[in-house]
Structure 1
């Protein structure tokens, strides 16, 4: 499915100049998403958990930092961040990173088929500032260190196998990862003001112990064509990976990353953008830019983690802003899906859908306290469209 495959009139007064020259000759690029009425309608008043949701949706707290996860003896980690869900028999598992330094790592919560919590446990220890990450098709969790010369760790959501550091995936300020099973690569974002967008090409798909790290090559415009070049020294020392390859495209603070249907989306917090790479024709464009909203107030600021649903909707979480998760529909309408009240010193992290698509998990990293020890992890249930 192509989300943006129709040439539409530019919403910016028909001017390519308004896009900084991003409408290049011979290519058809859609205008970035604009505010409108979302598929779930208006947000209601805050529920008992302080969450504003559309009609038909409910929330519950599933874990709090520093407290035992209900029904278990496991104490939930501080500063919950990136997350993903995995099928476990008739139930599922939600994995969550811990963005603290030292002793970040990751934990998991296991659910029965009815959504009852059955266990919680640690799956990664002894790492630093584990921010986002990504799920692999072979059901491991890639936990990424958001520190200078950070690593990617491949972990077992069931907590049975020991986590493995994947040096070949490069040393830089890792943020998120997204697997592309068609091209058999892993896309990687870098949280630097002049970060790059990478892909890792494993020697053998399903085995991340060796392979080639590549960086995206493109012009300075907000749309165009792109290619890939090998990073000569993935170790990043003494020369950082982002400065090794001439012509590599700079991005302002890479954050979340999501792959589906021959497309990869990733976010950049420095300019509040959602980027879209169309992998069938090797072109890129803006799916959203808060500075290009043509009427009213931009609904999405503090652009951060991103995930998608089976309907093709993208769900983008805010780091700050007004603590919303916004939805971007396949027809390029953006609207708030939920808002958390009273968490002004926090950010929303780790959005991920249960395998059946009926439950959305996420965290308020610092909760109402504004401290990493105040994190709260939630579940929202309701009539998500499929």
Structure 2
């Protein structure tokens, strides 16, 4: 079943037991999972991971292929010291290395992966920037100023249309897309904003000092604190932190639908299932027929926010972080028989 089925078959329906069975008792780190799934803590803020001190306030994340292994990248939402770090995994899941890929930036909250295997780390601060980072640690990160200067949250690439969607964490934030002049090169391009009519309109001055991007287009549509963003199967899913909304923008038909409530972070599995984290310490599974069932719970972490949901390239491991404030943070890995 495809992601299109999810978009067009009616409202989300809360269910009982999910396709993997009931969630069991908590294990390592308070992680409660269905049968045949296992979990572990791979990183802890302030503790060493393969010689690297793992950052505080872990937030947005993504996975990248690395030969027979893979890499998980995580942002840090610290002021002035944010940046991003990476953990390199061997084929058997062992940790081979850990290193910084971005340093000295401000409030790096979310971001997104590109099809050419770079990481877009987004600054949340006033006039925040998007930095394109090398998850393999070989090249220095570069700011992509044509993508606008605003409170960036997340980014999601749409290779079919050659655009990158972006959310903005403001009470009257906008939903943007960036059209690079050359797909794969984000140095130059056109920043556009979704209007109330459903059309995309160019932002005249994406990096203007005096008039913020969200106020430059008169009929721009506004959202209450844009948050997570993920593109899959012709649909860009994004969330609004202010009102807990889950939205779906169908890029082929240029239509927008509000799917449900109470979601902050979201990712997709190869099966077409969505995995969504809300205001509590649990992750729900949303199947292509729009059934919503619990997938995991995290006990003993009251008040934590779950962030950085991402699947490994093979789709057999799910990563996420649990953060409380700007000091505590745990990064988890869940392994098991995820549907293909």
TM-score w.r.t. structure 2 length?
A: 0.96
Query: Residues 329-363 of structure 1: CA distance to partner in whole angstroms, max 9, x if unpaired?
Result: 11011122111111113200101001110000111
Query: How far 1:34 sits from its partner (Å)?
Result: 1.5
Of residues 136, 144, 148, the one that matches 1:170 is 148
Structure 2 CA distance for aligned equivalents of residues 350 and 275 of structure 1: 18
Give the strand-richer structure, 1 or 2. 2
**Partner residue in 2 for 1:102:** 80
**Partner residue in 2 for 1:184:** 162
Query: Secondary structure, in 3 states, of the residue corresponding to 2:227?
Result: strand
The residue correspondences of 1:349-368 to structure 2 (distance < 5 A) are: 349-366=307-324
Query: Secondary structure, in 3 states, of the residue corresponding to 1:242?
Result: helix
After superposition, the Cα gap between the structure-2 partners of 1:100 and 1:6, relative to the gap in structure 1 and judged at 3 Å, is closer
Query: Secondary structure, in 3 states, of the residue corresponding to 2:224?
Result: coil
Query: Secondary structure, in 3 states, of the residue corresponding to 1:372?
Result: coil
**Partner residue in 2 for 1:310:** 270
Query: How far 1:236 sits from its partner (Å)?
Result: 3.8
The residue correspondences of 1:295-334 to structure 2 (distance < 5 A) are: 301=262, 303-318=263-278, 321-334=279-292
Of residues 116, 122, 127, the one that matches 1:138 is 116
Query: Secondary structure, in 3 states, of the residue corresponding to 1:120?
Result: strand
Query: How far 1:2 sits from its partner (Å)?
Result: 5.3
After superposition, the Cα gap between the structure-2 partners of 1:314 and 1:6, relative to the gap in structure 1 and judged at 3 Å, is closer
Of residues 35, 56, 62, the one that matches 1:84 is 62
Within the alignment, does 1:272 sit opposite 2:226 as a pair? Answer: no
8 Å contact kept, 1:32–1:286: no
Structure 2 CA distance for aligned equivalents of residues 118 and 236 of structure 1: 43
After superposition, the Cα gap between the structure-2 partners of 1:288 and 1:101, relative to the gap in structure 1 and judged at 3 Å, is same
Within the alignment, does 1:200 sit opposite 2:198 as a pair? Answer: no
**Partner residue in 2 for 1:58:** 38
8 Å contact kept, 1:264–1:279: yes
8 Å contact kept, 2:4–2:233: no
Within the alignment, does 1:348 sit opposite 2:306 as a pair? Answer: yes
**Partner residue in 1 for 2:12:** 33
Within the alignment, does 1:44 sit opposite 2:2 as a pair? Answer: no
Query: Secondary structure, in 3 states, of the residue corresponding to 1:258?
Result: strand
After superposition, the Cα gap between the structure-2 partners of 1:4 and 1:157, relative to the gap in structure 1 and judged at 3 Å, is closer
Structure 1 unaligned blocks of 5 or more: 8-28, 220-225, 290-300
What is the aligned residue count?
339
Structure 2 CA distance for aligned equivalents of residues 213 and 309 of structure 1: 29
Query: Secondary structure, in 3 states, of the residue corresponding to 2:260?
Result: strand
TM-score w.r.t. structure 1 length?
A: 0.85
Structure 1 CA distance for aligned equivalents of residues 217 and 328 of structure 2: 41
**How large is the Cα RMSD of the aligned pairs?**
1.5
**Partner residue in 2 for 1:209:** 187
**Partner residue in 2 for 1:15:** none
Query: How far 1:322 sits from its partner (Å)?
Result: 2.4
Structure 2 CA distance for aligned equivalents of residues 262 and 322 of structure 1: 29
Q: Which has the larger radius of gyration?
A: 1
8 Å contact kept, 2:122–2:130: yes
Structure 1 CA distance for aligned equivalents of residues 184 and 233 of structure 2: 20
Structure 2 unaligned blocks of 5 or more: none
Query: How far 1:218 sits from its partner (Å)?
Result: 2.4
Within the alignment, does 1:234 sit opposite 2:212 as a pair? Answer: no
After superposition, the Cα gap between the structure-2 partners of 1:90 and 1:3, relative to the gap in structure 1 and judged at 3 Å, is closer
Of residues 104, 108, 125, the one that matches 1:126 is 104
Query: Residues 86-132 of structure 1: CA distance to partner in whole angstroms, max 9, x if unpaired?
Result: 00000000000001102000000000000000000000001000000
8 Å contact kept, 1:4–1:331: no
Structure 1 CA distance for aligned equivalents of residues 208 and 242 of structure 2: 23
Structure 1 CA distance for aligned equivalents of residues 186 and 28 of structure 2: 44
Query: How far 1:6 sits from its partner (Å)?
Result: 9.2
